[in-house]
Amino acid sequence: MTLESPDIGRPNIDVSAGPPDAAAADMPLLRVEGVSKKFGSFPAVDHLSLDIRAGEFFALLGPSGCGKTTLLRMLAGFETPDEGRILLGGRDIAPVLPHERPVNMMFQNYALFPHLSVRDNIAFGLKRAGMARAAIDTRVAEMVALVKLEGMEKRRPDQLSGGQRQRVALARSLARRPKVLLLDEPLAALDKKLRESTQQELMELQRRLGMTFIVVTHDQEEAMTMANRIGVMNAGRLEQVAPPRDLYEAPASRWVAQFVGDVNLFDGEVTSHEHHRLTIATRDGGAIVVAVPRQPVAKSPVSVAIRPEKVKLSRPGVASDASNSQPINRLEGVVTDVSYLGGSTVYKVKLDSGAILRSSVANTARLDTDTYDVSQRVVAWFTSDDCVVLEQ
């Protein structure tokens, strides 16, 4: 029941049969070039460019209203860009109407046709493509099995649970074997448990089908779990496009550092630059030594970003166990707040300089003796490699 050969029975809808594969080897499957879209005077998408390769699982991540859904709707053809081009397999698809695009979408609230059964919902796109009845039956059966909905074919959408509806929507959008599957907040309507298991299933499905998935989400954990690459959007622009790890460990901007995960930020000026190290005089954290970033810092003032789990704590006077040769930043202060979260404990430390620093310590042993109490004096320390310098 798997889809080993995605070309068998591909409906005859391939209007954008692009250049041959050899020529397309260095060409991304989908290229967005300087695309803008305004609603009234509000720029929803602002001169945005993006390449997506075939077979990628790409996530567009951003706060609500950042333009990610508008971008997705432009890819599906529901909105036309005011400026710029969208190339699919090297062809400009701006004039191609949504129903003629080899792209399918899974809608946020699924948009299942309430008057049609599960079977007819899945078969809808196949019928439009003029597939033979027998072929449609086979494909629908395949899809129903793929999303594990056997026995539900005759039900109407209002007779299904939320999770089942999500599967029907997925099956319906996959049935035409699109070149690109667009997913608009595909898991937003599911509860947490179901969301996690569905994430795994989506990933497995994407790997197995080798299809290109573009998912829009506001949930960073979801994006990080599923996607190979993530584009972080803010105010109609892409702030950074990177694999999940780079996004977290090497954010490109102060905004990304704050949006993705938790972060301590210190603002300051670069005071010296020697031996791959920068010394930064921060406004409220004292001097911090950091490793020189790959991209040289051109402008001052800058910000130093340190993730809470990179900040270690120890008692004053006790030598730290760091044995490498990196310079270590030490900042002394008093614990003001302790939040026990199970897997980790978050300490808030009020530094002597007045700044608040958060440190997340993994609870690696059940009977941990290495804990700190409120009002206790501690040394917070981190290596120069653990922080990132960002232009403001």
Partner 1 sequence: MSTRRIFAQPARYAAIAPYLWMVLFFLVPFGFVLKISLSQTAIAQPPYVPVFDFTEGWAAIKAAFAQLSLDNFKLLVSDNLYLSSYLRSLIVAVTSTLILLLIGYPIAYGMARLPQRWQAIAMMLVIVPFWTSFLIRIYAWINILQHDGLLNTVLLALHLVSSPVVWLSTDTAMYIGIVYSYLPFMILPLYATLSKMDPALLEAASDLGASPQQAFWLVTFPLSLPGVGAGALLCFIPIVGEFVIPDLLAGSSSMMIGQTLWLEFFTNKDWPVASAAAIALLALLVPPLLLYDRLQRRTLEGGR
Partner 2 sequence: MAGRVNRLSPFNVTALALGMAFLYLPIVILVIYSFNASRLVTVWGGWSLRWYQEFFNDRAMLDAAWMSLRVAAVSATIATLLGTLAAVGLVRGERFKGRSLFSGMLYAPLVMPEVISGLSLLLLFVALNAERGFWTVTIAHTTLTMCFVTVVVQSRLASLDRSLEEAAMDLGCDPVQAFLSVTLPLIIPAIAAGWMLAFTLSLDDVVIASFTTGPGSATLPIRIYSEVRLGVKPEINAICTMVIALIAVVIVIASLASKLSNSEAKSAAPL
Quote the CA–CA distance of 386 and 229 in Å, as a whole number. 23
Provide, rounded to whole angstroms, the least separation between the CB of residue 79 and partner 2.
Answer: 6
Provide, rounded to whole angstroms, the least separation between the CB of residue 123 and partner 2.
Answer: 21
| Cβ-based neighbours of 218, under 8 Å, separated by 6 or more | 61, 62, 63, 64, 185
Under DSSP, is residue 371 helix (H, G, I), strand (E, B) or coil? Answer: coil
List the single partner that 80 binds among partner 1, partner 2, none, CB under 5 to 8 Å by kind: partner 2
Provide, rounded to whole angstroms, the least separation between the CB of residue 217 and partner 2.
Answer: 20
List the single partner that 124 binds among partner 2, partner 1, none, CB under 5 to 8 Å by kind: partner 1
The pair of three-digit structure tokens given for residue 213, joined into one six-digit string: 């998935």
Regarding beta strands 286-291 and 277-282, do their DSSP bridges make them parallel or antiparallel, or are they unpaired? antiparallel
For 91-114, the DSSP string reads EE-TTS-GGGSSEEEE-TT----T
Q: Which is nearer to partner 1, 116 or 152 (CB)?
A: 116
Q: Which is nearer to partner 2, 69 or 234 (CB)?
A: 69
List the single partner that 107 binds among partner 2, partner 1, none, CB under 5 to 8 Å by kind: partner 1
List the single partner that 113 binds among partner 2, partner 1, none, CB under 5 to 8 Å by kind: partner 1
Distance from chain centroid for Cα 174: 21
Provide, rounded to whole angstroms, the least separation between the CB of residue 100 and partner 2.
Answer: 12
Quote the CA–CA distance of 215 and 202 in Å, as a whole number. 11
List the single partner that 48 binds among partner 2, partner 1, none, CB under 5 to 8 Å by kind: none
List the single partner that 172 binds among partner 1, partner 2, none, CB under 5 to 8 Å by kind: partner 1
Q: In this structure, are residues 96 and 89 in contact, taking their beta carbons and an 8 Å threshold?
A: no
Measuring CA to CA, how many Å separate 380 from each of 154, 261, 289, 350? 62, 20, 14, 10
Provide, rounded to whole angstroms, the least separation between the CB of residue 118 and partner 1.
Answer: 14
Provide, rounded to whole angstroms, the least separation between the CB of residue 175 and partner 2.
Answer: 20
| Residues near partner 1 (CB under 8 A) | 13, 76-78, 97-101, 103-105, 107-109, 111-115, 124-125, 128-129, 158, 172-173, 176
Q: Which is nearer to partner 2, 65 or 327 (CB)?
A: 65
Quote the CA–CA distance of 349 and 323 in Å, as a whole number. 24
Provide, rounded to whole angstroms, the least separation between the CB of residue 117 and partner 1.
Answer: 13
| Residues near partner 2 (CB under 8 A) | 39, 73, 77-80, 97-98
List the single partner that 299 binds among partner 2, partner 1, none, CB under 5 to 8 Å by kind: none
| Cβ-based neighbours of 4, under 8 Å, separated by 6 or more | none
| Cβ-based neighbours of 15, under 8 Å, separated by 6 or more | 96, 100, 101, 102
Provide, rounded to whole angstroms, the least separation between the CB of residue 125 and partner 1.
Answer: 3
Q: Which is nearer to partner 1, 36 or 108 (CB)?
A: 108
Q: Which is nearer to partner 1, 172 or 254 (CB)?
A: 172
| Phi then psi dihedrals of residue 116, to 5 deg | -115, 150
Measuring CA to CA, how many Å separate 276 from each of 244, 287, 319, 327, 384? 26, 16, 25, 11, 10
Provide, rounded to whole angstroms, the least separation between the CB of residue 128 and partner 1.
Answer: 3
Measuring CA to CA, how many Å separate 55 from each of 11, 90, 218? 20, 16, 22
Q: Which is nearer to partner 2, 78 or 113 (CB)?
A: 78
List the single partner that 197 binds among partner 2, partner 1, none, CB under 5 to 8 Å by kind: none
List the single partner that 39 binds among partner 2, partner 1, none, CB under 5 to 8 Å by kind: partner 2
Q: Which is nearer to partner 1, 181 or 305 (CB)?
A: 181
Q: Which is nearer to partner 1, 76 or 387 (CB)?
A: 76
* β-strand partners of 312: 381
Quote the CA–CA distance of 53 and 58 in Å, as a whole number. 9
Q: Which is nearer to partner 1, 90 or 98 (CB)?
A: 98
